[in-house]
Structure 1
Amino acid sequence: MINFDRKKYPIYASFLNQLAKDLTQFYHSKLNRTFKVSNKLKGKGYDPVTTSDRAFEKFIRAKIKKKFPSHQVIGEEYGSTSSKSDYTWVIDPIDGTRSYVIGNPTWSNLISLNFKGTPILGLANFPVLKKYYLNYSDKLAYVVAEGKKKKLSVNKKATFKNIKVSAAFHGWLSLNKQKKIPKILKLMQFPCSDALSYSHLAEGRVDIVIQCSNKIWDIHPLIPIIKAAGGIISTWDNRDAANAGNILVSSNKKIHNNFLKLLKPVSK
């Protein structure tokens, strides 16, 4: 267990709470207009990046540098800055860039604070939806919307017979591999909308989220929120979700174990 000083939670939670508000204001005042899109993969697939992704990351980095100048930063668009600090901020300036490009409001700004490599605080901010999800400790997280805070808690009554499953493979899992998990395919009843699906699990709206090929900036900010809400999170082969990759999130350990078994044919 890491030796993070729990008394420092309020310092960083307060910073992220204000940053969420600043990011939403920044979007509506500066970025809610025409933007440019380019493809990172250039003919080898489709991985869009926009001028807004880069603007958001510059904005977030500037806020962190001003408040915590000695901390390390890892961002999707501008790489990493290293120091001897035990603290690292991990940034996904726009999680769900494809949604952003087509005007779907489910995209978000994701930021985590890691201590010695372990995510301890996470923010998922949804500027268009005007709400954000943030944990204040390892046992307390809230969703804030229209100025009102609601404590996050997974659906503790979820059972395998009545689960709500949100899943998407986004082209990463081949059809041949999907044929090896027919029970999973049958149980996929709800769309998977980037970080919003993980946030909905923390609210108790869905009970399982399954995704492929997450990078650290996709999942690190969500790990502390999910855990504080009582959720279980791991990779498909039951390793620490901080490793990123293929991710499974569940509302309790029992159904998590059931889904790990169902995913076993494609977990290697």
Structure 2
Amino acid sequence: MPDDLTLATRLAEVADKITTARFRARDLRVRSKPDRTPVTDADTAVEDAVREVLAAERPGDAVAGEERGGSTRSSGRTWLLDPIDGTKNFLRGAPVWATLIALIEDGTPVLGMISAPLLGRRWWAFRGEGAWLRDAAGERAISVSGVSSLADAYLSTTHLGSWTEYHSREAYLALTDACWENRAFGDFWSHCLVAEGAVDLAAEAIVNPWDVAAVQVLVTEAGGRFSDLSGQPRFDGGSALSSNGLLHDAALDILKA
């Protein structure tokens, strides 16, 4: 696993070099995918570059990504890539986006690397070795909060409209009413803040596997809990709830309503 972490760090550096060069580029090319989500030339360039490194360094591993396709194996090893999580932010010039890299072994995420160069932050975790953050203050282990009551909890989500379309806007608003404070930090950042202990709950009504495989490792290795909205601890359930663990069941009870 240390060799895999070294490789994941190298992959993040490859991605950061591309994304930072293309961020706010005047000639950035954008198109819409069939699901109407945007993709830029930076998204595809990152995934292609990471796949090239993996082909050379781990030729026996499978690779799946948001832009070039592929699927995770139920057995063996798969690298799962989201070249730019937060593409809408990226193309609008907002700095909240990241490259997400996960290693899946026998269907279970065991390594997560999340690199957000414009935030100056990189998070990583691998099974049994804790969760870590590197920022301007240096490198340190991170852990979830000890908040034990929803009334004291800080909640984050992404676009509120997704709750109307994919789950229940009323259920999400009931959870916000039960919590002390709420924000929409969105995408990867909500879950990373849970792992850091800065936020207590992060919920998303709709996700893809590449959106959350890496954060599942990060949150659980930080001492928290990750599941879909039915409570199953899986990254491919189509929705996501991260928590410090103490609040998870209470949040699920409201969101299931």
TM-score calculated relative to the size of structure 2? 0.90
Counterparts of 1:204 and 1:161, CA distance in 2 = 16
Alpha-carbon distance between aligned partners in 1 of 2:172 and 2:41, rounded to the nearest angstrom: 39
Bigger shift: 59-68 or 142-151? 142-151
Contact 2:126–2:217 (8 Å) recurs in 1: no
* Structure 2 counterparts to residues 61-140 of structure 1, below 5 A: 61-80=51-70, 86-140=76-130
- Mapped partners of 2:254, 2:212: distance in 1: 22
User: How many residues get paired?
Assistant: 253
Task: State which drifts further: 231-240 or 135-144.
Answer: 135-144
Equivalent residue number for residue 190 of structure 1:
183
2:200 is equivalent to residue 207 of structure 1? yes
Residues 167, 191 of structure 1: 8 Å contact kept: yes
1:16 counterpart = 2:8: yes
- Residues 1:29 and 1:264: Cα distance change in structure 2 (over 3 Å): closer
Counterpart-to-counterpart distance in 1, 2:207 and 2:87: 14
C-alpha distance 161-37 of structure 1, shift in aligned 2 (>3 A): same
Quick check: 2:14–2:49 contact (8 Å CA) kept in 1? no
Distance between the aligned counterparts of 1:51 and 1:181, measured in 2? Answer: 34
**TM-score, structure 1 length as denominator?**
0.86
TM-superposed CA distance for 1:180, in Å, is: 4.6
Does the CA contact (< 8 Å) of 1:169 and 1:212 recur in 2? no
Secondary structure of 1:161 counterpart: helix
Do the aligned partners of residues 214 and 181 (structure 1) sit closer, same or farther apart at CA in structure 2, a change above 3 Å counting?
Answer: closer
Report the alpha carbon displacement of residue 210 of structure 1 after superposing the two structures with TM: 0.6
CA distance in 1 between partners of 2:73 and 2:158 (Å): 37
Whole-Å separation in 2 of the counterparts to 1:216 and 1:140: 22
For the 8 Å contact 2:84–2:98, the answer to whether it is kept is yes
Select the residue among 225, 245, 254 that pairs with 1:262: 254
Displacement after TM superposition at 1:244 (Å): 3.1
Deviation at 1:31, TM superposition (A): 5.8
Q: Distance in 2 between matches of 1:242 and 1:81?
A: 13
Displacement after TM superposition at 1:164 (Å): 0.5
Q: What amino acid is aligned across from residue 98 of structure 1 in structure 2?
A: K
Q: Which residue of 2 aligns with 1:3?
A: none
Residue identity (%): 26
Distance of 2:61 and 2:41 partners within structure 1: 25
CA contact (8 A) 2:147 2:200 kept: no
Contact 2:194 2:200 in 1 (8 A): yes
What is residue 241 of structure 2 aligned with on the other side? 248
CA distance in 1, matches of 2:121, 2:45: 20
* Maintained 8 Å contact 1:24/1:130: no
Pair 1:179-2:182 in alignment = no
Cα gap change, 1:81/1:179 in structure 2, threshold over 3 Å: closer, same or farther? closer
